[in-house]
């Protein structure tokens, strides 16, 4: 029954994608992408709407759900119109699975068997071992959802100074999504945050699978998805119900969309609009998402406006900004009206920051910790990637693409941003590094795996016919 | 000579692999084998962890402990909270499990109700201006302010 709660966000997000890609998004091969990307977007959109509803009308009632249903209906009518009109003009057909290779059936079955075991592990840990999640989950995201749900007219207490431990400046995608579902079922069931955590944890894996299937063929997609299942630290963080996993999901979707844009330039404007939406969802999930958003705007400005200087690339950038608008404006409103100042700036002053910046031992301490955490992440899974790369080699077609370097630079800059945030951290540095660094690696992990498999050679054996081709 | 033997071995291993795992090169094993063992081991370790875990999740434990007290607290009221618990998480969990009641740490500013969570004391503590309303066991007590 609880699973039905995901349907409205799924419909809202999926119908937006269907409206943008009326023909391709509904093809069997692309349905997974439409459903998972759509549901993630739907969570972002519905959480923003319910927050605005709280501000304007107070606690959501039947009218709220009527409005949500109205939005679904509107999008459905628009999507239907787009589908019917696109039947006559299929010239811009895009996004079909890469059929260069036959699908290795046992690889597919192996993935699904391992996925069932991983989902079993997730369910055991989440439902039986830590039903409320770990410290940050119940102290920040679930507590905020509870206060919104039980708060009545005094719901804004959630941003009170009394609750400074809960980081009242953090955005609300996760808490508002939980709150929305609790309102629907009428009780603060622990199953809801677990279902959301499960969706984002396994959603990223399905997005990698489908994204690589489109770009590199299904076998490569399955291999990358199986590789994701090895990263038990990632799965574990999912069961902790932390917002880092949804953030990683939205960073991945943005990177994936930017890669697809290069492959299908015909749909660049629509894809950039979607990328804008997903990037703003990242910013609406955690403050680190705001850093990601700032960096992606910087990178796109450099690439699209300064380097390319073409009219088309400027319009692409405009569509990206257009996609940002709905959710980012909600977040700006939240930050200006409700959020307390962030710890990094609230507990710090300029002279403190300057003194931290000139302490060389802080650089050394952070650098060593970063290197240790990256290389020993998930029992040294990075070395497995290195060995795989050494044996398989790079796929030069993809590695040389001009799209890859801005994306790798973006992830690198995000890491540098995290480095800087530790450098000026007002907290005990050792404690801060130990408690936060491994989660920051998780933000980048799915995107990194996606880019890694995108530019390494596939492991499929060519058949005689394929060799001839 | 050596190269020739190596080629034969490679050819043999390749044919064995193709027989058991058709369609992929040997390189795929670098991912498939660890995945197979890690995923199964992770599942089993989670399973055993659940059966052998000595203590419950702290939040679940607190929810059970504080459930009777929660029924007696006025909804959305602000209540003082004092404890002799040395663990930092105690107050945070109490805030979480007692929603919608809002609790503030310490005796000031003084509210109509006071929750005492004393796990190390056997004698009932006394607070100026408050009288004990009810004891709930596990060191949890509710005090009411004197009129």
Residue listed under structure tokens 């960096």: A295
Q: What pLDDT is stored for residue A38 in this prediction?
A: 95
Q: What pLDDT is stored for residue A468 in this prediction?
A: 42
Rounded to an integer, what distance in angstroms lies between the CA atom of residue A223 and that of residue B107? 59
Q: Is the ipTM of this complex over 0.95?
A: no
Mean pLDDT for the stretch of residues B88-92: 84
What is the tens place of the pLDDT at every residue in A273-315? 999 999 999 999 999 999 999 999 999 999 888 887 788 889 9
What is the tens place of the pLDDT at every residue in A429-457? 999 999 889 899 999 999 999 999 998 88
> Torsion over CA of B25, B31, B36 and B40, rounded to 10 degrees?
-170
CB contact under 8 A, A235 and B42: yes
CB A176 within 8 A of CB A50: yes
What is the rounded average pLDDT for all residues in chain B?
A: 85
Nearest by CB to A232, from B32, B42, B76: name it. B42
Does any domain span residue A11?
A: yes
CB contact under 8 A, B30 and A388: yes
Nearest by CB to A230, from B34, B50, B104: name it. B34
Written in H, E and C, the secondary structure of chain A is: CHHHHHHHHHHHHHHHHHHHCCCHHHCHHHHHHHHHHHHHHHHHHHHHHHHHHHHHHCCCCHHHHHHHHHHHHHHHHHHHHHHHHHCCCCCCCCCCCCCCCCCCHHHHHHHHHHHHHHHHHHHHHHHHHCCCCCHHHHHHHHHHHHHHHHCHHHHHHHHCHHHHHHCCCCCCHHHHHHHHHHHHHCCCCCHHHHHHHHHHHHHHHHHHHHHHHHHHCHHHHHHHHHHHHHCHHHHHHHHCCCCHHHHHHHHHHHHHHHHHHHHCHHHHHHHHHHHHHHHHHHHHHCHHHHHHHHHHHHHHHHHHHHHCCCHHHHHHHHHHHHHHHHHHHHHHHHHHHCCCCCHHHHCCCHHHHHHHHCCHHHHHHHHHHHHHHHHCCCCCHHHHHHHHHHHHCECHHHHCCCCHHHHHHHHHHHHHHHHHHHHCCCCCHHHHHHHHHHHHHHHHHHHHHHHHHHCECCCECCCHHHHHC
Distance from B7 to chain A by nearest Cα, in Å? 17
Distance from A459 to chain B by nearest Cα, in Å? 5
Mean pLDDT for the stretch of residues A150-166: 83
Does any domain span residue A91?
A: no
Rounded to an integer, what distance in angstroms lies between the CA atom of residue B71 and that of residue B131? 19
CB contact under 8 A, B76 and A226: no
Contacts of A411-420 with CB under 8 Å at 24 or more apart are A411/A255, A411/A444, A411/A447, A411/A448, A411/A451, A413/A295, A413/A298, A413/A299, A414/A251, A414/A291, A414/A292, A414/A295, A414/A443, A414/A444, A415/A370, A415/A440, A415/A444, A417/A291, A417/A295, A418/A288, A418/A291, A419/A366, A419/A367, A419/A370
Does any domain span residue A144?
A: yes
* pLDDT score of B21 more than 70: no
CB A461 within 8 A of CB A100: no
Does any domain span residue A96?
A: no
Return the closest-CA partner of residue B18 out of A463, A227, A385: A463
Both tokens of A123, joined, read: 């369910």
* pLDDT score of A464 more than 50: no
Q: Which of A21-25, A183-187, A330-334, A341-345 has the highest mean pLDDT?
A: A330-334
* pLDDT score of A362 more than 80: yes
Does any domain span residue A95?
A: no
CB contact under 8 A, A121 and B42: yes
pLDDT band at B82 (very low <50, low <70, confident <90, very high): very high
pLDDT band at A99 (very low <50, low <70, confident <90, very high): low
Q: What pLDDT is stored for residue A351 in this prediction?
A: 79
- For residues B61 and A461, the model is more confident at B61
Mean pLDDT for the stretch of residues B84-89: 79
Q: Which of A251-265, A341-355, B79-93 has the highest mean pLDDT?
A: A251-265
**Can you tell me whether residue B142 is helix, strand or coil?**
strand
Residue listed under structure tokens 């801060």: A432
CB B102 within 8 A of CB B70: no
Both tokens of A100, joined, read: 């260069």
CB A57 within 8 A of CB A51: no
* pLDDT score of A92 more than 60: no
> Torsion over CA of A209, A213, A217 and A219, rounded to 10 degrees?
20
Does any domain span residue A400?
A: yes
Rounded to an integer, what distance in angstroms lies between the CA atom of residue A321 and that of residue A284? 15
Return the closest-CA partner of residue A439 out of A287, A283, A251, A244: A244
- For residues A29 and A109, the model is more confident at A109
Residue A188 is part of which domain span?
2-83+102-468
Return the closest-CA partner of residue A280 out of A294, A293, A261: A293
C-alpha A25, offset from chain centre: 19
Please give the order of strands across the beta sheet that includes B113-117. Answer: B102-105, B78-83, B113-117, B140-145, B130-137
Structural domain count of chain A: 1
Does any domain span residue A68?
A: yes
Mean pLDDT for the stretch of residues B20-40: 84
Mean pLDDT for the stretch of residues B59-73: 91
Closest CA in chain B for residue A224: B31
Length of chain B: 147
Distance from A272 to chain B by nearest Cα, in Å? 33
Both tokens of A432, joined, read: 């801060």
CB A247 within 8 A of CB A440: no
What is the tens place of the pLDDT at every residue in B96-136? 999 889 999 888 888 999 999 988 877 888 888 899 988 88
Closest CA in chain B for residue A162: B104
Both tokens of B31, joined, read: 């991912």
Q: Which residues of A touch B22 (CB under 8 A)?
A: 104, 106, 461
Does any domain span residue A368?
A: yes
**DSSP bridge pairs for B143:** B114, B132
Residue listed under structure tokens 């203590």: B55
Distance from B25 to chain A by nearest Cα, in Å? 5
Q: What pLDDT is stored for residue B22 in this prediction?
A: 66
Q: What pLDDT is stored for residue A340 in this prediction?
A: 80
Rounded to an integer, what distance in angstroms lies between the CA atom of residue A16 and that of residue A60? 24
pLDDT band at A467 (very low <50, low <70, confident <90, very high): very low
The region of weakest confidence among A21-35, A95-109, B102-116 is A95-109
Mean pLDDT for the stretch of residues A165-175: 88
The region of weakest confidence among A9-18, A74-83, B121-130, B137-146 is B121-130
Mean pLDDT for the stretch of residues A354-370: 90
Q: What pLDDT is stored for residue B23 in this prediction?
A: 66
Q: Which residues of B touch A226 (CB under 8 A)?
A: 31-32, 35
Mean pLDDT for the stretch of residues A208-224: 90
Mean pLDDT for the stretch of residues A327-342: 90
* pLDDT score of A39 more than 80: yes
The region of weakest confidence among A99-103, A188-192, B6-10, B115-119 is A99-103
* pLDDT score of A272 more than 90: yes
* Percentage, residues of chain B above pLDDT 70: 93
CB contact under 8 A, A219 and B43: no
H helix or E strand, kind and range, residue B114: strand B113-117
* pLDDT score of A1 more than 80: no
List the single best residue of A125, A190, A452, A457 to mutate versus B (max B Cβ within 10 A).
A125
């Amino acid at each position: 029954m609880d699973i039905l709660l995901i349907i409205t966000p799924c419909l809202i997000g999926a119908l937006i994608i269907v409206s943008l890609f009326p023909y391709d998004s509904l093809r069997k091969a692309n349905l997974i992408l439409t459903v998972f990307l759509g549901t993630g977007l739907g969570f972002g959109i519905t959480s923003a709407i319910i927050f605005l509803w709280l501000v304007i009308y107070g606690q959501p009632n039947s009218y709220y759900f009527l409005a949500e249903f109205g939005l679904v209906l509107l999008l459905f009518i628009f999507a239907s119109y787009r589908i019917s009109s696109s039947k006559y003009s299929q010239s811009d057909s895009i996004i079909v699975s890469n059929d260069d290779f036959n699908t290795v059936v046992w690889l597919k079955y192996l993935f699904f068997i391992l996925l069932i075991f991983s989902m079993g592990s997730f369910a055991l840990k989440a439902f039986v071992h830590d039903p409320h999640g770990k410290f940050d989950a119940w102290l920040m995201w679930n507590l905020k959802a509870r206060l919104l749900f039980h708060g009545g007219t005094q719901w804004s207490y959630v941003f009170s100074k009394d609750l400074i431990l809960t980081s009242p400046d953090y955005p609300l995608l996760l808490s508002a999504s939980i709150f929305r579902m609790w309102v629907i079922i009428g009780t603060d069931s622990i199953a809801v945050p677990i279902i959301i955590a499960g969706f984002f944890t396994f959603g990223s894996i399905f997005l990698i699978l489908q994204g690589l299937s489109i770009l590199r063929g299904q076998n490569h997609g399955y291999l990358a998805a199986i590789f994701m299942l090895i990263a038990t630290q990632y799965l574990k963080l999912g069961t902790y119900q932390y917002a880092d996993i949804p953030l990683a999901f939205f960073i991945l979707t943005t990177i994936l969309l930017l890669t697809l844009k290069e492959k299908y330039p015909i749909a660049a404007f629509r894809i950039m609009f979607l990328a804008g939406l997903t990037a703003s969802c990242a910013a609406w999930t955690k403050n680190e998402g705001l850093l990601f958003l700032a960096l992606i705007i910087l990178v796109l400005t450099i690439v699209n406006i300064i380097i390319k200087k073409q009219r088309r690339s400027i319009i692409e950038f405009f569509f990206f900004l257009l996609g940002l608008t709905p959710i980012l404006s909600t977040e700006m409103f939240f930050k200006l009206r409700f959020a307390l100042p962030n710890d990094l700036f609230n507990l710090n002053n300029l002279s403190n920051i300057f003194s931290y910046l000139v302490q060389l031992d802080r650089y050394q301490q952070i650098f060593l910790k970063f290197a240790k955490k990256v290389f020993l992440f998930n029992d040294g899974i990075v070395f497995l990637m290195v060995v795989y790369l050494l044996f398989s080699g790079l796929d030069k077609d993809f590695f040389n693409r001009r799209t890859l370097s801005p994306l790798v630079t973006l992830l690198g800059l995000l890491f540098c941003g995290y480095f800087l945030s530790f450098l000026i951290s007002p907290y005990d540095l050792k404690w801060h590094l130990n408690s936060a660094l491994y989660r920051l690696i998780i933000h980048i992990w799915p995107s990194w795996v996606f880019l890694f498999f995108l530019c390494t050679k596939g492991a499929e054996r060519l058949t005689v016919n394929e060799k001839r081709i | 000579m050596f190269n020739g033997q190596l080629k034969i071995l490679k050819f043999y291993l390749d044919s064995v692999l193709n027989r058991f795992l058709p369609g992929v090169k040997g390189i795929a094993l670098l991912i498939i084998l660890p995945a197979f063992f890690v995923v199964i081991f992770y599942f089993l370790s989670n399973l055993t962890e659940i059966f052998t875990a000595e203590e419950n999740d702290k939040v679940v434990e607190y929810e059970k402990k504080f459930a009777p007290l929660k029924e007696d607290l006025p909804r959305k009221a602000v209540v003082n909270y004092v404890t002799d618990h040395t663990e930092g998480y105690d107050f945070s969990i109490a805030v979480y499990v007692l929603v919608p009641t809002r609790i503030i740490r310490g005796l000031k500013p003084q509210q109509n109700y006071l929750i005492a969570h004393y796990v190390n004391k056997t004698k009932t503590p006394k607070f100026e201006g408050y009288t004990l309303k009810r004891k709930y066991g596990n060191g949890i007590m509710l005090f009411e302010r004197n009129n």
